[in-house]
Amino acid sequence: MRRPYVLTGVFALAFGGALLAGAEPPKRQDTLQSFYIVSFFISDALGDSFDEILDVTPQGDDVRVRAIRISSWNAFCPTPLVRAAGRILRRTTVQEVAGRDLCSFTQEEITEAMQAARPKYVEDASDSASETVVAKCGSTTKVLRLPNPVELNWKALKRSNTDVSALWDTDYRIQTRAFGKHSPFYEPSPDQERQMRDSGTILVPELVSGKYDAAYHGDMCGYHKCEGYLAQELTAYTPPPNEDPLVVELLEASSLHLAKYVVPVLTPIARTARIEGDVRLKLATNQETGTVTSVDVVSGHPLLVGEAIKAAKSWQFAAGNVPKQPVEVTLRFELHCPTK
C-alpha cells in the first residue's frame, strides 16, 4: 500500500518559505502524459488469439481513446485483420481517464504484490489474457506487465495492495466509458464492421512503426521475435475481403434442378481444423413432393459429412425433375484464404 506523502522537518519549512516568497512549487516530472495498454488473448478452446491495443492520448482539452484489435481474419484463415474504433472524451485529462496515477507504480511493486498473492492451485489457463501498460511519464516511459489473472489469488492481492489489484480493471473501465457495455468488436453491424476495417487499415503504418513495441514480450509474440513484432505480422498488409472464405459447391447443381437448396455449414471443430474436401452422398426422393427422403454417405471426411447430410435432407427437387432412382451428388468444401 502506498503511504501518504508527508512534508516534514527542514524540507517542509523550506517548501513553505518558498510559497510565502511567491516562488512556484517544484513541478512533478512524472506527470502522466499518455498511455496504452496491450492485451494478448489466447483460447485453446476456441483455437483463436488476438492482440488488442487501448491507446489513450490527449487532444487539446479532450482525450482520444482508440481500441485497435489485431486478429486472424476468421477461424478458417490466419490472414491478419486490423480493426479500430475511436472516441473523443470531452473536457477531461489522461490522468482522469486512467483513474489512477500510473506513473506512481513500479514493476518491482507489482511483482512483489503478485508474489504475495500466489494461489495454491492455478486454475485452468486454456483461456489466457495478459496485459502490459506502457505509460509516458514526463521524459520517461514506464512498462508495467500484468499476467493472466488466473495466476493470482485476487482476495489476497486486494488485501495486500488494492492499488495494484485495480490495475487489471483499467482497460475494461476505460473501454466501458468510451464505447459502452460491450466492446466495439462485439457483434458490430455491417456498417460498423466496414468502418472499423477502414480505420484499422489507416492505422497500419503507425502499428508497424514500432510505436507499441515496448509492450511486447515473452509469450505475447508466440514463435516470433518480440522486436518488431507488429511489423513482422503486418508486413505488406492488405485488408482481407469482407466475405466468407468457405465456398461449398454442389458440382451437379446445373443438372439436378433443385427448387430448394441449403448450403452446408461447417462445425466449429471443422473450422478450427480447416478441413476441406469432397463429400459424396446418395439421395433418395419422394416422387410426389420432390423432397429428399434419405441420405447415404458414399465418401467424405468425418468432420464434413454430418453437416452435408443435414443440409441435403432439406433439399427439394423441382416438379418434373424428380429423379426416379437414387442419385449421387458431390459437395466440395474449399477454403479461399488470401495469402499474407
181 and 281, same domain (yes or no)? no
CA distance 97 to 120: 35
- Does 225 share its domain with 279? no
Measured CA to CA, the distance from residue 125 to residue 43 in angstroms comes to 9
Q: How high is the pLDDT of residue 288?
A: 93
Residue 273 counted as domain residue: yes
Give a yes or no: residue 23 inside a domain: no
Q: Are residues 165 and 58 in the same domain?
A: yes
Residues 156 and 297 in one domain: no
Calculate the dihedral angle through the C-alpha atoms of 276, 279, 285, 289, rounding to the nearest 10 degrees: 10
Is 239 a member of any domain? Answer: no
Which of 182, 203, 233 marks a domain boundary?
Answer: 233
Q: Is the pTM of this model over 0.75?
A: no
φ, ψ of residue 115 to 5 degrees: the values are -65, -30
Choose the final residue of a domain: 164, 198, 233. Answer: 233
91 in the same domain as 156: yes
Phi then psi for residue 13, to 5 deg, are -65, -40
CB of 273 closer than 8 Å to CB of 300: no
Residue at 276 is within a domain: yes
Looking at the fold, whether 258 and 311 belong to one and the same domain comes out as yes
Residues 200 and 302 both lie in one domain: no
Residues 146, 132: contact at Cβ < 8 Å? yes
Mean pLDDT in consecutive groups of 10 residues from the start of the chain, 340 residues: 35 38 48 94 67 96 97 82 97 95 94 86 64 94 89 85 92 96 92 96 96 83 75 90 85 94 87 87 96 97 95 95 95 80
- Residue 228 has φ and ψ, to the nearest 5°, of 70, 30
Instruction: Give the residue among 40, 173, 26 at the shortest CA–CA distance from 97.
Output: 173
Q: According to the model, what pLDDT value does residue 48 have? A: 64
Measure the CA–CA gap between 212 and 228, rounded to whole angstroms. Answer: 9
The parent domain of residue 326 ranges over 246-335
Residues 65 and 180 in one domain: yes
Q: Residue 328 sits in a domain of what CATH number?
A: 3.30.2420.10
pLDDT for the residue 93 = 95
Residues 217, 258 share a domain: no
Q: What does the pLDDT read at residue 86?
A: 97
Residue 24 included in any domain: no
β partners of residue 69: 52, 83
Same-domain check for residues 77 and 200: yes
CA 153 to chain centre: 25
| 20 within domain boundaries | no
- Residue 210 shares a structural domain with residue 252: no
Structural domains counted in the chain: 2
Task: Give a yes or no: residue 101 inside a domain.
Answer: yes
What are the residues facing 339 on neighbouring strands?
Answer: none
CB neighbours of 264 closer than 8 A, spacing ≥ 6? 248, 304, 307, 308, 310, 311, 312, 331, 333
Residue 136: all three cell numbers together: 509516458
The Cα 93–Cα 332 span in angstroms is 56
| 1, part of any domain | no
Question: Within 13 Å and on the Cβ side, how many CA atoms surround 137?
Answer: 18
DSSP letters, 50-103, are EEEEEEEEEETTEEEEEEEEEEESSSS---EEEEEEEEEE-S--HHHHHSS-GG
- Last residue in a domain, options 203, 233, 263: 233
Q: Are residues 48 and 186 in the same domain?
A: yes
What pLDDT, on a 0 to 100 scale, did the predictor assign at position 10? 36
The edge-to-edge listing of strands for the beta sheet with 246-250 is 246-250, 327-335, 277-285, 292-299
pLDDT value of residue 41 = 85
